[in-house]
Amino acid sequence: MTGSERPLTEAIALAVSRGWRQRVLAYITRAPHELLVFEHPPLYPDAGIQVPAGGVDPGETPAEAVIRETFEETGLRLHSPVHLASFHWTRGENSQVWHYLWLAAPPTTPDDWTHQVTGGETDQGMTFHCRFVPQSTHGLIPGFGYEAALPHLQRLIPAH
Side by side, the strands of the sheet bearing 82-91 are 2-6, 82-91, 94-104, 21-29, 53-55
> With the CA atoms of 39, 33, 68 and 88 taken in that order, what torsion angle do they form, in degrees rounded to the nearest 10?
-90
What band does 142 get if pLDDT is binned at 50, 70 and 90? confident
Q: Which residues pair with 19 in a beta bridge?
A: none
Residue 14 has pLDDT above 60, yes or no: yes
- pTM comes to 0.94
The CA distance from 63 to 80, in Å, is: 8
What band does 47 get if pLDDT is binned at 50, 70 and 90? confident
Domains contained in the chain, CATH given: 2-156 (3.90.79.10)
Across the range 46-73, mean pLDDT stands at 94
The CA distance from 130 to 40, in Å, is: 9
How much is the mean pLDDT over the chain?
A: 92
Q: pLDDT, tens digit, for every residue of 79-123?
A: 999 999 999 998 888 999 999 999 999 999 999 999 999 887 788
